Amino acid sequence: MLEAARVLTGRRYARTLVFGCVGAEIGGYYGSKDLAARIVAAGGEVHGMLALQSIAYTDETPGSQSVPAGLDLAFPSLGQALDARERRGDFIFYVSDDVSPMSAHIEAASAAVDLPVIGLELDAVLRVSDLTVALQASPHGPFWARDLPGTMLTDTGYLRNVYDLCVRGADRLENLDPDFAVKVTRAAVGALARAAEPAEGPPAEGHMLDPQPVRPPPFVCDAPGGECEDGQRCALLRTDVAELTCEPPAAEPLGLDAPCERRPDGGDSCAAGLRCTFAGSTREQGRRCRPQCVSSLDCVEGEVCPDFGADVSSCAARCDPFGDDCGEGTGCMHTPDVAGIGTDFFCSVAGELAEGEACSGGGCAPGTRCTSLYSDGGRVCRRYCRPSVPDCGAELVCLQYHGNGVPDDTGLCVPAAYQLD
């Protein structure tokens, strides 16, 4: 991306070029969501968008290229193109919208540098379909979600690279193909130059975007900013899809931390801005009315806004994973902040699954966390540990957990096979 910026800023174009390094992508694509939100808020017109994923790994072994289950059957042209190359991982792949001319630009630019390329164009329905979830996993996905053009250029990562995400060993420089990376960079520069449309005159003067994040309104109901009409309450019905709705307030609204119950549709009788949830409670304590939030900045000191898989959450008490400050039946576990600002430890309902047992997102005993990290398949309960004083026992090692905001000397007990150099 830096090389593309260096080359392309040397002349003038009919269209504006924006170069962005988006952060907090793992687990929520918060950076690209923010970038797309900026564009929409500014009323900008997107002529094309190119997301650069991993671009430097090749494997010329027949059969080295895999695809997400069933994708080559759903798109016969993809299967045919892969078969024609004996499913070797020696090409660059793109997936694009069918609105912008980016696909044609990538094809032309790749041909100019003798770069093998395979690609797909998706219409408006397929761009947000469950069938193509694997093809939405990149910064272009949030652009598609806002009905903006978006294109991903990638070597397909783990679908050919056994070192991707360091799952099978360190991803070292000698594992990569620099000549291939140079061709991909040249193709990307060529495609972007074509999309920007070279023009006469001196290069335009560049400037930095406002670094302040564009935070979504906390309660996105029917009205801008989430304010319902006629005194109605903006209620969160489902956390998995952030389903919010405007509804009449309860006859006697329940206040902060009041015991509460959910209706069959997911609603409750909490006052405006509150939601009936287990966040920070034990099952014995039951659900309570807790503040809704989109970031830990919305919560009071000592509380965080954990990511429960949607853009809206509920404030919960911060805790110490090695302490005993959550209460019986509750465990201290960590999750990213909903807004991607960092990682927070919070009190949540714990289960009875022991360390090493299979789990499906929750149900682990206090002191453990359900995670797919350091696992050959599925999720398992991993125990928190301190790398400085490991106590994981035989055949397990304490690996520092690397995450934005995770305290130093905080790790997980994992099989020794995952200990890297």
What does the domain layout of the chain look like in residue ranges?
Answer: 2-196
Averaged over successive runs of 10 residues, the pLDDT of the chain (421 residues) comes to 92 92 75 82 89 95 93 93 97 97 97 97 92 91 92 95 73 91 97 95 83 51 52 72 74 92 86 82 78 79 77 81 78 72 76 88 83 76 89 86 73 78 44
Please answer whether residues 120 and 74 qualify as being in contact, where contact means their C-beta atoms are separated by less than 8 angstroms.
no
Q: Residue 358 has which token pair? A: 């299979």
Sign of the dihedral through C-alpha 133, 136, 137, 142: negative
pLDDT of residue 207: 84
pLDDT of residue 92: 98
pLDDT of residue 421: 44
Q: How far is CA 136 from CA 51, 95, 296, 345, 420, in A?
A: 11, 9, 27, 29, 30
Please answer whether residues 57 and 172 qualify as being in contact, where contact means their C-beta atoms are separated by less than 8 angstroms.
no
The pTM (predicted TM-score) of the whole model is 0.61
pLDDT of residue 111: 97
SS3 166: helix
Specify burial of residue 347 (Cβ count, 10 A radius: 0-12, 13-18, 19+). buried
The residues, any chain, with a CB within 8 Å of residue 172's CB and separated by 6 or more, are: 163
Q: How many CA atoms lie within 13 A of 134 on its CB side?
A: 15
pLDDT of residue 224: 31
pLDDT of residue 81: 97
Q: What is the 3-state secondary structure (H, E, C) of 92-161?
A: EEEEEECCCCHHHHHHHHHHHCCCCEEEEEECCCHHHCHHHHHHCCCCHHHHHHCCCCCEEEECCHHHCC
The residues, any chain, with a CB within 8 Å of residue 43's CB and separated by 6 or more, are: none
pLDDT of residue 169: 64
Distance between CA atoms of 118 and 95, rounded to whole angstroms? 9
